[in-house]
Every structure is written in C-alpha cells, then in structure tokens.
Amino acid sequence: MKEQKNYAVSCQACSLNALCIPYSLTDDEIDIVDALIKRKKPIQRNKLVFESGDKFSSLYAVRAGAVKTYSVDQEGNESVIGFYLPGEMFGMDAIYSGKHLNTAIAVENTYVCEIPYNRLEELSGQIKNLQSHMFRALSGVISSDQQLQVLLGKKTAEERFANFLLNLSNRYQKRRLSPILFRLPMSRSDIANYLGIAPETVSRVVRRLQVSEILLLDGNDVHILDLHRLCQSAHGRNKNRDEQNNHKYPLLK
C-alpha cells in the first residue's frame, strides 16, 4: 500500500510541480492537467520506458529515480544521448517523426509521469501559458544538445567530466537539493560513453580531482570540496596548479 501511495501522488502534492508546471496556472488548471497524467508503477532498474521505433503517443517526466536515453548503431554500438533527473521531461525527440528515435531505460528504480501528447495539445489551446511552457522545455532540450556538442568537440577529458559534474550540481540545486553533495545514479561506463571518453580515463580524472582536493567520490556519492576550482577545471584553468600530478594520472583526450 505504501508503494501505491507513492506513485499516485497528485501534481498539487508533488514537490517537483514547479519544474513541470507553469507557475501561472491556477489550482483548477493544475487539476485539469493532473487528470490527464498517467502514473504507473515504478519501473525497475534497466527496464524500458520506451524503445527506439516505438510509436510516439506521450511525453514523460521523471518523478523519482533517473532515466537514460541512448541509440544503437548498425554495428550494435550504444551511444548515450542523455540522463534525466526528477522534474525533467523526455521523449520530445519523437514529436516531429511520430516515433521514438532513441531508447529510454531506468538507470535505477524510477517513477515516471506519462503525459498523452494529443490531450496536452488540446489543453494548450485552453490553458494560458501551457503551450509556451512546453516550448521552453523543448528549447531547453535543444540547448542542452548544443552544449553537449561543444563539450565533446573542444574539451579535454578533465574539462568534460568537470562540466558534467557542474551540470548535475546545477540541476540538483534547481530541485532545492545540495549542489555539492549528491549521488550519481548512472554508471561510470555510461558517463564515459556520454562524454565520449574511455571508462579508465574517467577513473584517472576522478583520481586526479581527488588528489587535487577538488572532490571526493565514494562509490556513486559525490562531495564537491571546492566548487570554485571545479569550475576552473571545467575551463582548463587548473593545469599549472596540478602540473606536479600529471605524471601520476595522465589524461587522454
């Protein structure tokens, strides 16, 4: 019964509603939106939310847990596209084509809200600011994709990983959680895939940042010890200070 209560929580009672729903909606309008949302049982770790090629019918928002999206090429190689945390929407890539281009799976036990797209379109014509909110959400996805291309194209392994941590830090802060103490729900290999570097390179970067007393990583628990220096690492500004450690922990580009 406790589990049933968890995934049946309404939008009004959800602590993340400010991230999913426009601030300007009235309580009655939130109730209308709430009525169309499907809340399913928790999706177990490594289980599908949707698969590449599936017909598009809904958008999704993470309520708890985390979701990974990825694509697979003709040779069977997986490319991680993105990670989604509580309060974040995904599945928007399928709006244009009418089918999902990527696969989405839970990286840990996850609750999602399913939002039927045809009903959302109808409500967007009735509820002021709902459509503009969806456009902003879509714009955020596009912006994130563009930032990833810059990240992968011009930065070293350490800069990529530091930027990745800072991105997560900002996202957790938006959820009113600690920006310096948080958990990585995804695996090291998924992080490496997403950043376009080898898993062993991620390990070397982590060791270097820990030796430099910039962060602590215990399993998947992150403690950013020096946020300012992590920002410097993200922009390649700690190279001189940590030069003495280069022979111990060389980085691959």
pLDDT tens digits, one per residue of 151-162: 677 789 999 999
**CATH superfamily of the domain spanning 2-126:** Jelly Rolls (2.60.120.10)
- Local confidence band at 16 (pLDDT 50, 70, 90 cut-offs): low
Q: Where in the chain is the domain with CATH 1.10.10.10?
A: 155-245
Identify whether the C-beta of residue 52 lies closer than 8 Å to the C-beta of residue 103. yes
**Four-way CATH pick for 155-245: 2.40.50.100, 3.40.50.970, 3.40.1190.20, 1.10.10.10:** 1.10.10.10
The pLDDT score that the predictor gives to residue 78 is: 95
The pLDDT score that the predictor gives to residue 15 is: 62
**CB-based contacts of 38-42 (< 8 A; 24+ apart in sequence):** 38/113, 38/114, 38/115, 38/116, 39/7, 39/8, 39/9, 39/63, 39/111, 39/113, 39/114, 40/7, 40/111, 40/112, 40/114, 41/3, 41/7, 42/3, 42/6, 42/7, 42/109, 42/110, 42/111
Q: Where in the chain is the domain with CATH 2.60.120.10?
A: 2-126
When the pLDDT of each residue in the chain is averaged and rounded to a whole number, the result is 84
- Local confidence band at 246 (pLDDT 50, 70, 90 cut-offs): very low
Q: How far apart are CA 248 and CA 252, in angstroms?
A: 13
The pLDDT score that the predictor gives to residue 250 is: 42
Q: For 211-230, write each residue's pLDDT tens digit.
A: 999 999 999 999 999 999 99
Pair of tokens at residue 96 = 């244009």
Q: How far apart are CA 163 and CA 169, in angstroms?
A: 10
Q: How far apart are CA 70 and CA 36, in angstroms?
A: 27
The pLDDT score that the predictor gives to residue 251 is: 40
Per-residue pLDDT at 248 exceeds 90? no
> Once rounded to an integer, what is the mean pLDDT over residues 172-190?
93
Give pTM, 2 decimals: 0.83
Per-residue pLDDT at 9 exceeds 70? no
Residue 116, helix vs strand vs coil: strand
> Once rounded to an integer, what is the mean pLDDT over residues 62-69?
95
